[in-house]
Every structure is written in C-alpha cells, then in structure tokens.
Amino acid sequence: MNVHSSKHRCSECGKCFRSKCELTVHRRSHSGEKPFECSVCHKRFAQSGSLARHSAVHSGEKPYKCHECDKAFKAFDSLTKHMRVHTGEKPYKCSVCNKAFSKSALLQMHKRHVHSNIRPYHCPYCGVRFVTKHSLKVHLPVHTDSKLYSCKHCGSRFRMRTQLKRHLLESHNEGTWFTCHVCEKKFVFQGQLKEHLLKHEEVKPYACAECPKRFYTAAHLKQHQSVHSDFKPFICGLCNQLFKTKLGVKCHFNRCYTLLGFN
C-alpha cells in the first residue's frame, strides 16, 4: 500500500483512495448523499458527472454518432451497445446452453424464459402468466383502450411499442428496416428477418423430441410441445378454467367475458 492511499481510508469499509476528493465521493455510497440536483426534474445524483450525463435527456443533444448508420445517442455506452448491431458482437453468454446475446438484459430474459418455469406475474383479465413485470405491462393494453405510446411527429397513439416503431418506419421513414437480401421483403425487427431467412433456406433447426415435426424457431417448438403435455399453465381470470396455450385462454376469455355479461 502506498503512502497516499493510506492517508485517505474509508472508515466504513476500509477502502483506500488516492485523494480526499475521491474519498468524499466514495463516502456517499454509504451515506446515500446526493448533492447534485437536476434543475429540470429535480432528480438527485451522487456525482457531478452523473448529473451531466442525465442533463442530456432534457437538452435533446445526441453527441455520440454511429459511423455506420448515422444514428445518434445521448450516452457513449448507448452507442457502444448499438454498435453490436453492426459488428454482431455478443459478449453475454448463457452458462446453461452457451447461447450468446448482445445485451445483458436479453441474456437475463433468455434465462427466465428458457431455463426457468417461474412466471410470477399474471394478467388479471385473462390469467396469462409472465416472467417479468414489464412483459405483463406490455400485455395489459390488449384488454384496455389505453394507448401509452405516442408518435412525436403526428400525435398518433398506440397500445404497443412495436406498433409505434412500425408506424415511425412506414409513415415517417424514421428508423432502420431489416431487408431480406433474397426477396427484398422488409421487417421492423431483426429477429423477424432471421426467422424469414430460414424459410428461404428451408432450414428447421428445432426438432420435437416427441414426434417428427420440426420448426423454424424455439418459440414455435415450445408452443407445439404443449400438444404432448397435460400441463396447463394459463388460467382464465374470470372462471379459473385452465388452458395449455396463451392463444387458447385468450379466445376463451373473450367468450367468457361476453357470457358473464361484462359487455
């Protein structure tokens, strides 16, 4: 340990720092002190640098530009993540099946969906269960008239974020289409293009262990496998009847809703 670091030791955890300033900033992690306040939304931060990065949200400035597609970002780490779209880099690997992902959030979602049967969040309307609270939030507008996503150009509102993204591309030419190099069909999402390309190659890599059927995607295989099982994870929120598939409970719920006189 050098002389300078020993002079600036945290009394809470014993960690040493090169300067008194660094020690002062570190102590806020123990005290919870956040002396830097945003003048617009009054959110508080422990460091001035964090406040400076946050302020870009209100200024609208996007100083970090992609040299491949000219998209711009407010934060450098957002640009770094975006560049993986062009480079194909997938640094986050599943420890169970070795499948790799470009984002940590995608890896976590993969683990919950594929390697766990726990779905703690259920829809109060139709009983469909979800792995994450966000997935449930995205699903709920199906049963209501709420349109949470608004177009900044024309004010049109949409229930789903994916609907807004498609609208921006089709109506305002904002965003990037994913185009098939074989038939030039365009897709809003890269995953849709990847699934489409398999059809050109006539490749169905996902095989059912119970029968000879094969599928283009893991999602299609998973949906099919319910045919071979008595497991019914979906429950109607009105009558508690159980179903094997999400589509089954949705169709039932609409009928049940009418029969019970809710509309």
Whether pLDDT at 69 is above 70: yes
Per-residue pLDDT of 81-136, as tens digits, reads: 888 878 888 888 887 777 888 878 778 777 766 666 667 788 887 777 777 787 78
Whether pLDDT at 143 is above 80: no
Q: 139 near 130, Cβ under 8 Å?
A: yes
Q: 231 near 237, Cβ under 8 Å?
A: no
Handedness of CA 17, 19, 20, 23 (dihedral sign): negative
What pLDDT does residue 3 have? 42
User: Alpha helix (H) ranges present in the chain?
Assistant: 3-7, 20-31, 48-59, 76-87, 104-114, 133-139, 161-172, 190-201, 218-225, 246-259
Q: 36 near 46, Cβ under 8 Å?
A: yes
In total, the chain counts a number of residues equal to 263
Higher pLDDT pick, 4 / 259: 259
pTM: 0.34
What pLDDT does residue 112 have? 65
Whether pLDDT at 5 is above 60: no
Q: How confident is the model at residue 67 (pLDDT cuts 50, 70, 90)?
A: confident
Higher pLDDT pick, 96 / 176: 176
What pLDDT does residue 154 have? 92
What pLDDT does residue 117 have? 64
What pLDDT does residue 1 have? 39
Q: What is the mean predicted confidence (pLDDT) over 132-148?
A: 76
Give SS3 for 2: coil
Q: 124 near 237, Cβ under 8 Å?
A: yes
Per-residue pLDDT of 7-63, as tens digits, reads: 788 887 778 888 888 888 888 877 878 888 887 777 788 888 778 777 766 666 777
All domains of the chain, ordered by start, with CATH? 3-47 (3.30.160.60), 64-114 (3.30.160.60), 123-228 (3.30.160.60)
Distance CA 121, CA 241 (A): 18
Distance CA 35, CA 50 (A): 11
Per-residue pLDDT of 214-262, as tens digits, reads: 887 777 887 787 778 777 777 777 777 888 777 788 788 777 767 766 5
What pLDDT does residue 4 have? 44
